[in-house]
Amino acid sequence: QRYLGTVAISRTLDRRWLAEQPHGQSGVLFVVHQGRILESSLTGLIGRPFAPRNNRLILEGRRFRLARLHLTPAIGELPRLWFGLDETVLLSRLNRHRETIFLIAGLSAIVVLIFGFLIIRHFTRPLTELSNITREVAAGHLPELRKSRRRDEIAQLANHFADMLQALRRKDAEVKRARDELQKTAITDSLTGLYNRRQLGEVFPKLLAEARRSGHGLWGVLIDLDKFKPINDTHGHICGDVVLEQFAARLREHSRANDYLFRMGGEEFLVLTVARDREGVLALAEKLRATMATLRVTCNDSTIGFTISCGVSRARVELDDPDSLRDMLTRADLALYRAKQSGRNQVQVDDEAPAVADTAS
């Protein structure tokens, strides 16, 4: 066979192409080049800076969850194509969907009640059961209704109602899963799955109250990955993210069941633990340090090793919750700084932290 040539088909990514794409009311397409939006299905955003973090971006007060659509150019470099979903719109639609479900259930309940009233003299028992179930549905519950094998009209009605309840339960479960996922993303770090800094403000007062009741101490272990920037510079940010993911997994594996783990930002992490004495906390920090020193992360055919430095401090139970948190983090940060200045890959403890918790506090 003779080779005659190559046929190439191209398509211009312009506003007309964007308008033709089926992306729904909450989805937005972005054509991005050099950190700016060249084109978008939401024309008011054209020309805006585009700098997502962890696949999220806030534009004009709207929070978008982003996914990059990979395009392979024949030659040269193409602008990047992103698809964004407005999280606020999604949550609003889920709530409206849930309200619609219960509205349909309420209307169905009314229909069943009216129908039952007309024939209750002949079919009191099955209609009484349906009536009870409709009251539960109107109250926001979705009970199970077993299907009947009878062939009469009331049995068929009950079976249809059972099918409707099953469908409503499936939809309700979908709404709950979506809501739980949104709530989870609000309190956890999307990369590592650990609690984020916002959740620290919720957890710390509860742990401090527990420490006051038990007479134990509330300790913070502030952890920083040593020389993390060279890892990003040498191996790329994707490998840097893989290192953070592997670190978080090993941190979760080697911490205790009652420890709370947070990503404070970047390569800085925090472990909160309630313990009686300093030695136990230092042993935990040292175990984490030694464990990370042996961890090897494989990414893009490269093996990456790293170490961590830790600063340990104890929360002052005599202070108010916000002041106690700021004070503990400040002193843990100073201890971490000393660990860095002393050569890294070590644990330093705040000089003011007592060896044993003050049980009189």
- Cα four-point dihedral sign 27, 33, 37, 39: negative
Options 77, 174, 202, 267, the catalytic residue: 267
Q: How far apart are CA 140 and CA 134, in angstroms?
A: 10
Amino acid identity at 113: L
Question: Which residue's structure tokens are 């964007």?
Answer: 18
DSSP state, 78? P
Q: Which CATH number fits domain 197-349: 3.30.70.270, 3.30.70.120, 2.60.40.10, 3.40.50.880?
A: 3.30.70.270
Among residues 252, 251, 225, 253, which one has the least CA distance to residue 239? 225
Q: How far apart are CA 43 and CA 66, in angstroms?
A: 17
Question: What does the pLDDT read at residue 228?
Answer: 96
* CB neighbourhood size of 285 (10 A): 25
pLDDT of the chain along its 361 residues, tens only? 677 777 766 666 666 766 666 555 557 888 888 888 888 877 778 888 988 888 888 888 788 888 887 776 656 666 788 888 887 777 777 888 888 888 888 888 887 777 766 555 555 666 677 777 777 777 776 677 677 667 666 667 777 777 777 777 777 777 677 666 656 567 899 899 999 999 999 999 999 999 999 999 999 999 999 999 999 999 999 999 999 999 999 999 999 889 999 999 999 999 999 999 899 999 999 999 999 999 999 999 999 999 999 999 999 999 998 999 999 999 999 999 999 999 999 999 997 755 555 443 3
- What contacts 24+ positions apart, CB below 8 Å, involve 334-342? 335/222, 335/310, 335/311, 336/222, 336/223, 336/224, 336/309, 336/310, 336/311, 337/311, 338/311, 339/309, 339/310, 339/311, 340/224, 340/226, 340/309
- Cα four-point dihedral sign 151, 152, 155, 160: positive
Question: What does the pLDDT read at residue 108?
Answer: 81
The 10s digit of each residue's pLDDT in 156-175 is 777 777 777 777 777 777 76
Our answer to whether residue 267 is catalytic in this structure is yes
Question: What does the pLDDT read at residue 66?
Answer: 84
Q: 327 exposed, middle or buried (CB, 10 Å; 0-12, 13-18, 19+)?
A: middle
Amino acid identity at 268: E
